Amino acid sequence: MNINSSKIQQTFGKAALFVLMALALVCMPKPADAQTRIRDLASVAGVRSNPVYGYGIVIGLDGTGDQTTQTPFTTQSIVAMLQQSGINLPPGANLQLKNVASVMVTGNLPAFAQPGQAIDVTVSSIGNAKSLRGGMLLMTPLKGADGQVYALAQGQLIVGGAGASAAGSKTVINHLSAGRIPNGAMVERAVATPFNLGESLQLELHSTDFSNAIRVAEAINNTMGPNVAQALDGRIVRVRAPSNPNDRVAFLAKVQELSISKAMGTAKVIVNARTGSVVMNQAVMLESCAVAHGNLTVKITATPVVSQPAPFSQGETVVAQQADIQISESGGELIEIKGAAQLSDVVKALNALGATPSDLISILQAMQTAGSLKAELEVI
């Protein structure tokens, strides 16, 4: 019996190659799940900004202020301000203030804001001022929801727009009735926060998800020790923290840097009915279905028709409209859409329909009713 040694070597060589490839696939590390820091998933309860607002006066306008006949509160504000400065106007004085405007000043106190800290404010006209460009905001107390003054605002406005008018023509670029004052307000009172109160802190997830709440608690317990964190529900995670303020800050900084494997969120398709926009997240899935979609077009053409009376009939010429109505429907081809579990595949399947965004809204609603669209459809 003759045996070809070269063929045996080739056979064993191929077998060894397949074995090595199989071992490489087995030993190949699995792709790591997407890691998300806790600071990107949750915030600390009570650590937030606080809105403040106040009524103020802007002066120094170039004739573009409020018309005092239509905004009497502007005149009343100026009279009260002058009286506080020791200037008493005669009764019935007719003030023509073209360089003054009444405004509302708004801002946000950041978390842990302290007296002496500067914050940005936005100044918006509440009267009929044409422009706030070049104006100066007089000292305006900014109050919180409790009616207490937390900041004082004053400074030169920055308005991003421009405008000009002459001989009845007017051109405006951007918005002239609002502006900003960078670092225009000084904090006068700090807002109390519960950060250093109690034995524990609460982490609030940005969106309700029981899986993420459990994963956050497990990550903290695995790093900081057992029973340090406890998931109370799908949104709140209670964390035991050191009582010393310095240790508590360091503890929370370390907790926020911990990473977890973020759970897949709720599948959602957001539809804006006004603009026709359609947005879907990565959790959206499709099951196989068949879709046929056609367009219905209605065309109406109006043609003027002139009817002339007979000679010497003393009739009148009549102009009428003759309407021509045409209805056409384009054929909708039945298209099979295969099931897709990834967002890129879902987009490819929907693009195969060739539908406009407005048509896509109707298609998605029908697909959800049929059970093919595995997502929550929300119309805003």
**Segment 106-163, tens digit of pLDDT:** 999 999 999 999 999 999 999 888 889 889 999 999 999 999 999 999 999 998 766 6
Residue 69 tokens read as: 């006949």
Higher pLDDT, 78 or 358: 78
Tens of pLDDT, residue by residue over 295-349, are 545 555 667 777 777 776 677 777 776 666 665 555 556 666 676 666 677 777 7
CATH entry, 198-261, from 3.30.310, 3.30.70, 2.40.50, 2.60.40: 3.30.70
Whether 280 contacts 346, CB under 8 Å: yes
Which position has the token pair 């519960």? Answer: 194
Q: Is 219 exposed, middle or buried (0-12, 13-18, 19+ CB in 10 A)?
A: middle
Beta strands at 259-261 and 35-37: parallel, antiparallel or unpaired: antiparallel
Averaged pLDDT for residues 252-261: 90
Confidence of residue 232 (pLDDT cuts 50, 70, 90): very high
In which residue are the tokens 């403040």 written? 52
The mean pLDDT of 366-377, rounded to a whole number, is 81
Q: In this prediction, what percent of the chain has a pLDDT beyond 90? A: 31
Mean pLDDT to the nearest integer, 44-64:
91
Of the pLDDT bands very low, low, confident and very high (cuts 50, 70, 90), residue 350 is confident
Q: What is the DSSP letter of 158?
A: B
Dist. CA 216–CA 212, nearest whole Å = 6
Structural contact between residues 368 and 336, judged by C-beta atoms closer than 8 angstroms? no
Give strand pairing partners of 140: 153
d(CA 171, CA 190): 44
Cβ atoms within 10 Å of 103's Cβ, excluding its own = 28
CA angle 246, 252, 255 (to 5 degrees): 145
Give the integer Cα–Cα distance in Å for 262 and 35. Answer: 6
- Within 148-191, residue ranges assigned H as helices are none
* Tally of CB atoms within 10 A around 23: 10
Q: Report long-range pairs for 275-279 (Cβ below 8 Å, ≥24 apart).
A: 276/356, 276/357, 276/358, 276/361, 277/357, 278/357, 278/360, 278/361, 278/364
What pLDDT score does 80 carry?
Answer: 87
Q: Is residue 333 a contact partner of residue 353, using CB atoms and an 8 Å limit?
A: no
pLDDT tens digit string along 189-230? 998 888 888 888 999 998 888 888 999 999 999 999 899 999
Q: Which helix (H) or strand (E) holds 94?
A: none
pLDDT (0 to 100) of residue 345? 73
Q: Note the residue count of the chain.
A: 380
Which region, left, alpha or beta, applies to residue 228 given φ > 0 means left and ψ of -120 to 50 means alpha?
A: alpha
Checking if the pLDDT of 237 tops 90, the result is yes
The domain segmentation of the chain, as residue ranges, is 50-163+170-187, 198-261, 268-305+320-379
In 3D space, the residue among 288, 235, 273 whose CA is nearest the CA of residue 377 turns out to be 273
How confident is the prediction for the chain on average, in pLDDT?
79
81: confidence class by pLDDT, cuts 50, 70, 90: confident
2 vs 355: which has the higher pLDDT: 355
Fill in the DSSP letter of residue 342.
Answer: S
pLDDT digits (tens, 9 = 90+) for 161-197: 666 555 555 566 667 889 999 999 999 999 888 888 8
Check residue 19 and give its pLDDT: 40
Instruction: Work out the angle at residue 27's Cα, subtended by the Cα atoms of residues 22 and 33, and round it to the nearest 5 degrees.
Output: 125
